[in-house]
Amino acid sequence: MKGAILIIAPFLGGVAAADVEASTPCACNALGYDDKKACCLKDTDHCTWEEASYPWLPQGHCAVKKTPVAAPQDACSDMCSGTWMAAMQCCARHSDKCHYDKQAAKCVVGPEVHPDRAAMIKEISNTPGVLWKAGAHPRFAADAPGSSKDMMGVKGDQKADIQELVKKGEIVELLLASDAALPDNFDSATNWPQCAKIIDDIRDQSNCGCCWAFAGAEAGSDRMCISTNASVMVPLSAQDICFNGGGIMSRGCSGGQISTPWSMLKKGGLFGGKGAVSGGQYNGSGPFGKGLCSDFSMPHCHHHGPQGKDPYPAENAPGCPSQKSAPGFTKCDADAAAPHNDYASDKYSYTGDTVTVSGEAGIQQAIMAGGPMEVAFTVYADFENYVSGIYHHVSGKEAGGHAVKIVGWGVDSGNKYWKVANSWNPYWGEKGYFRIVRGENEGGIENQAIASSPTAKWSKASDSAAIVV
């Protein structure tokens, strides 16, 4: 196999630092004279040895030939062999020259980018004043823009839905001071460092349109921790909320509304919320490990944006199939451990109000008062190509509604932004986060934010009283 790696090295770039012979083409010059010469002469198809010896000090240089041998068409598959996951991960590391062919189930030569997507990325990059970086990746590169539509799980008019619940008294509009002094920068994890572990827990909704449940479970977990001064730092189960949440418009992977998680978490009320059990990420991955009642049952996936160092398979590729809603359940996972191994007694809920705010200043004040909040925004096709920076819509049609968690805000070179946690794993975007323009209601993200009240009292079903700090 070493010979095969040597042949493709000039094409694929570095492999392992430990094997300099198979790394960047002709990268032998850091070695001593004898080893350097031997290394160079082992790859005479691509390298040439240039002797410059002196009687007292032999010297020389290994240089790349001016006309290197072209890479064979099976270079990528030779380099990235093994199981489908190993091949896909290897292929992703060389995505500038290779792409994973899902039908052939192997890594093949050449990037595969749909011409419409390539044109979109070029348009974004060439747009004057653009604030973010765009790029293609294996999941969407070969598809036309807009292929993320199935992942957009917010259904209906969230603003109208919440306003209707306000009229019914189920949700309360939070009254805020109009002249409050607001900082230029704020981050919930920094402001409440005792809860940073759970605030920065970036989850993965897999290939399932249950963003509405994830954003609610995440923001609820954060607020429960903040409200109890970290005496209760437990991730609430997105699995429980997504597949047991119910509601006319909330149907698991088929999508839902951002009000549903809070109706489930609020004890009593119009919908008789009974709370949600504890639960972390797939197979106990993530910062909270195993032993919780109901971890998410669907595998990690690579989502929209360049693959980068993301080790997970792309949506609709082997290992990340399109998902259907799991059936409702009333038991904890088999590996759940005390005190999280009894479904009925592991339910966490709050008494008090569910609150909503809208607008830049309102959302800022509400976050400073109680922590991250759930919001929804309209995703356009260009968001599929987000790499970093402050997102704003540049090109492409509407793909659908997506629920996320706002954790804070800031200013970068005079440009205001929201800091938002996505549920597409920590390898996506800016370590699982993205920034989006603030103060201009980009994609309707400032239309309506929702969460438990800062004064809400959280409790567990097995507790005799609310947790008061």
Instruction: Say how far apart CA 317 and CA 299 lie, in whole Å.
Output: 12
Q: Are residues 103 and 159 in the same domain?
A: no
Which of 102-106, 113-117, 325-329 shows the highest mean pLDDT? Answer: 113-117
The structural domain count of the chain equals: 2
Instruction: Tally the C-alpha atoms within 13 A of residue 12's C-alpha that lie toward its C-beta.
Output: 30
Residue 302, pLDDT above cutoff 60: no
Q: Are residues 162 and 26 in the same domain?
A: no
How many other C-beta atoms lie within 10 A of the C-beta of residue 191? 17
pLDDT of residue 18: 35
Element (H, E) at 115: helix 115-126
Q: Are 276 and 220 in contact (CB under 8 A)?
A: yes
Does 141 reside within a domain? no
**What number is the average pLDDT over the span 428-445?**
96
Q: Are residues 242 and 168 in the same domain?
A: yes
User: Is residue 402 among the annotated active site residues?
Assistant: yes
What pTM value is reported for the model? 0.74
Q: What is the CATH number of the domain that holds 217?
A: 3.90.70.10
CB proximity list for 128: less than 8 A, separation 6 or greater: none
3-state secondary structure (DSSP) of residue 8:
helix
How many other C-beta atoms lie within 10 A of the C-beta of residue 189? 18
Does 124 reside within a domain? no
Does 468 reside within a domain? no
Q: How deeply is 197 buried, as exposed, middle or buried, from its count of CB atoms within 10 A (0-12, 13-18, 19+)?
A: middle
Q: Are residues 165 and 62 in the same domain?
A: no
Q: Are residues 206 and 343 in the same domain?
A: yes
Confidence of residue 5 (pLDDT cuts 50, 70, 90): very low
**What number is the average pLDDT over the span 405-411?**
98
Q: Are residues 159 and 81 in the same domain?
A: no
CB proximity list for 34: less than 8 A, separation 6 or greater: none
Q: Summarize pLDDT for 255-271 with one digit per residue, the tens.
A: 899 999 999 999 987 77
| Token pair listed for 48 | 């040439």
Among the candidates 109, 125, 157, a domain finishes at 109
Residue 8, pLDDT above cutoff 60: no
Tell me the residue range of the domain where 365 lies.
Answer: 149-460
Q: Are residues 308 and 455 in the same domain?
A: yes
Q: 207, 244, 385, 422: which is the annotated catalytic residue?
A: 422
Among the candidates 89, 109, 129, a domain finishes at 109
Residue 34, pLDDT above cutoff 90: no
pLDDT of residue 465: 54
Beta-ladder partners of 300: none
Does 137 reside within a domain? no
Does 136 reside within a domain? no
Element (H, E) at 162: helix 158-167
Q: Are residues 219 and 94 in the same domain?
A: no
Among the listed residues 75, 74, 71, 15, the one whose alpha carbon sits nearest the alpha carbon of residue 46: 71
| Token pair listed for 228 | 């109890």
Residue 395, pLDDT above cutoff 60: yes
Q: 211, 242, 293, 332: which is the annotated catalytic residue?
A: 211
| Helix, strand, coil abundance in the chain, percent, nearest 5 | 30, 20, 50
Q: Are residues 159 and 287 in the same domain?
A: yes
Instruction: Tally the C-alpha atoms within 13 A of residue 195's C-alpha that lie toward its C-beta.
Output: 28
Q: 208, 402, 425, 447: which is the annotated catalytic residue?
A: 402
Confidence of residue 339 (pLDDT cuts 50, 70, 90): very high
Residue 442, pLDDT above cutoff 60: yes
**What number is the average pLDDT over the span 359-368?**
97
pLDDT of residue 208: 86
Phi/psi of residue 424, nearest 5 degrees:
-120, 30
Residue 17, pLDDT above cutoff 90: no
pLDDT of residue 45: 66
What is each CA distance from 46 to 25, 91, 195, 420, in whole angstroms? 7, 23, 54, 47
Does 130 reside within a domain? no
User: Is residue 385 among the annotated active site residues?
Assistant: no
**What number is the average pLDDT over the span 207-221?**
93
CA-based angle 432:438:441, to the nearest 5?
A: 105
**What number is the average pLDDT over the span 313-337?**
66
Phi/psi of residue 199, nearest 5 degrees:
-65, -40
**What number is the average pLDDT over the span 363-374?**
97
pLDDT > 70 in the chain, percent = 80
Which of 11-20, 41-50, 397-406 shows the highest mean pLDDT? Answer: 397-406
pLDDT of residue 4: 32
pLDDT of residue 154: 92
Q: Are residues 198 and 302 in the same domain?
A: yes
pLDDT of residue 324: 56
Find the farthest-apart pair of alpha carbons in the chain and give their distance in angstroms, rounded: 94
Mean residue pLDDT of the chain comes to 82
Does 418 reside within a domain? yes
| Token pair listed for 452 | 């438990």
Among the candidates 109, 138, 170, a domain finishes at 109
pLDDT of residue 15: 30
Residue 105, pLDDT above cutoff 80: yes
Instruction: Say how far apart CA 180 and CA 182 lie, in whole Å.
Output: 6
Q: Summarize pLDDT for 166-186 with one digit per residue, the tens.
A: 999 999 999 888 788 999 999
Instruction: Tally the C-alpha atoms within 13 A of residue 173's C-alpha that lie toward its C-beta.
Output: 14
Does 392 reside within a domain? yes
pLDDT of residue 291: 94
pLDDT of residue 25: 58
Q: Are residues 94 and 153 in the same domain?
A: no
Name the least confident of 203-217, 235-249, 412-426.
Answer: 235-249
Name the least confident of 28-37, 49-58, 408-417.
Answer: 49-58
What's CA 412's distance to the chain center, in Å? 22
DSSP per-residue letters across 224-275: HHHHTTTS----B-HHHHHHH---SS--GGG-B-TTHHHHHHBSBTTTTB--
Instruction: Say how far apart CA 274 and CA 272 lie, in whole Å.
Output: 6
What's CA 23's distance to the chain center, in Å? 31
Q: Are residues 168 and 51 in the same domain?
A: no
Q: Are 447 and 356 in contact (CB under 8 A)?
A: no
User: Is residue 422 among the annotated active site residues?
Assistant: yes
What is each CA distance from 114 to 133, 210, 452, in whole angstroms? 18, 27, 43
CB proximity list for 169: less than 8 A, separation 6 or greater: 270
3-state secondary structure (DSSP) of residue 94:
coil
